[in-house]
Amino acid sequence: MARQNPLETAIQDDLLDKLIGKWHIDRKFANRDMENDAVVTWELAHHYLRIAMDDVARPSMYAAHVYIGFERPMSRYVIHWMDVTSGSGPDFLGYGTRQADSITFEWKDGDGTLMNTFTWHSQDDSWTSKIEQTKPDGTWETFCVDTYRRAE
């Protein structure tokens, strides 16, 4: 079987391209706020977008690497979320679909179902990442809302 040229399978995505750069992230949880800095780059021959997040507090209390790709055969986005608070494995792998300027990912973890919607706001070139999860009774609640603003 002939190997496919990796440049032919690279992701070309006009929405994800808008996320490339350096960002300051205000994170709003129900009972606390945090600030993170992030650098977003294309990695692995343009096959994955990587969000490298780090808490601005010292010592840092949070860090994450988030990889977003696209599965052509399934016509869906894929997200791998790895951070210092979670384990590894299929629980942190989700799948998503795009609608206009948003991509919504969904995956299951030990606590239920998570939904993470990344939305680009063209009027001020910012992003939000809203993470929702199901409660034990099956209703949805907001876990966190991240607002990305370009770093200077």
The model's pLDDT over 28-39, given as tens digits with 9 standing for 90+, comes to 999 999 999 999
What is the arithmetic mean of pLDDT over 86-93?
Answer: 62
Q: Chain centroid to CA 61: how far?
A: 19
* 5 has pLDDT over 60: no
Between the CA of residue 70 and those of 46, 88, 132, 134, what are the distances in Å? 11, 20, 22, 25
Residues 104, 78: Cα–Cα separation, whole Å: 10
Within 13 Å and on the Cβ side, how many CA atoms surround 116? 21
The 10s digit of each residue's pLDDT in 111-152 is 789 999 999 999 999 999 999 999 988 899 999 999 999 997
The 10s digit of each residue's pLDDT in 38-63 is 999 999 999 999 999 999 999 988 99
Query: Token digits for 37?
Result: 């800095």
For residue 86, the model assigns a pLDDT of 65
Cα-Cα-Cα-Cα dihedral of 102, 107, 113, 117, to 10°?
-10
For residue 109, the model assigns a pLDDT of 75
- pTM beyond 0.85, yes or no: yes
Confirm if 80 and 72 have CB atoms less than 8 A apart: no
* 17 has pLDDT over 90: yes
Q: Which CATH architecture has domain 6-150?
A: Beta Barrel (2.40)
Residues 117, 129: Cα–Cα separation, whole Å: 5
Domain boundaries along the sequence of the chain: 6-150
For residue 1, the model assigns a pLDDT of 54
* 90 has pLDDT over 60: no
